[in-house]
Structure 1
Amino acid sequence: MSIRETGRSADDPWLVHHVAGLMRSGGWQRVTIAARMNRASTDGLGVDAARRRWVVRCHHDAVSLSPLDVRRFAETVRHFRRGDVAVLVTMGLVAPQLWRVARSHDTRLVDRDALAWWASVQAGPGDGIRGAR
């Protein structure tokens, strides 16, 4: 089943669990899911092979994601959580303005197309990840 065919609602916690599974199968260590920040997002945390700390915010509604949200998240990751890599993931399509703001704040964006690609290359047999295969 592809990511676009999940039929999940915007507030379903499935997204952060799916991303955490992709991180684990990709070799990230100490992957955890933080408490839900609010109705709109949940954070996942992990450490990559280069020992960089990743903070991944799974934003459940791309439409409500604003440039200010991107800036605040980037600042929070770097100043309070001491993350090395900031990533925003959404099941929706991301507006061009958000791509520009994210790039200017050294934050990666993963929209539904990139998430589907990640699932298709990362998910292995028997790992429990329901992504595109």
Structure 2
Amino acid sequence: MRKIRTGFTETEIKLLESNPNVSRVSGRNISYAPAFKLAAVQANTAGEPPMEIFLKAGFSIELVGQRTPTESLYRWRETYAKYGEAGLLEERRGLGSTGRRSKTESSAEEKLQQAEARIKLLEAENELLKKLEALER
């Protein structure tokens, strides 16, 4: 039966944070340095197994978990295939599946396009209501 990890202790967090391949550690999660992700994907593509990559990078498999190297490399390879190096070097969390920016970050041109689309929609709605009103008479 597999032991389910509930989180890292303070000592484990400090140990993980001392590794240059880690950008931050929370109670349950490890955020890896972007350069490490890229190097790991390149090494894996060259034929190096995920477990060996993590061991060479100074990680204790008992600490990070037996499945973490394989699962992490799988995610990183997917990101690399979809977005290239930039996908691994920049933080994508919180951007959603399409990488959309928030409404407050829209450029002036995007805002203009959205406004024009809204105007067309409202004009079409007005025309529909006029036709409906004419039919009712």
- TM score, norm. by length of structure 2: 0.30
Structure with more relative contact order (C-alpha pairs < 8 Å, separation 6 or more) = 1
More helix by share: 2
More strand by share: 1
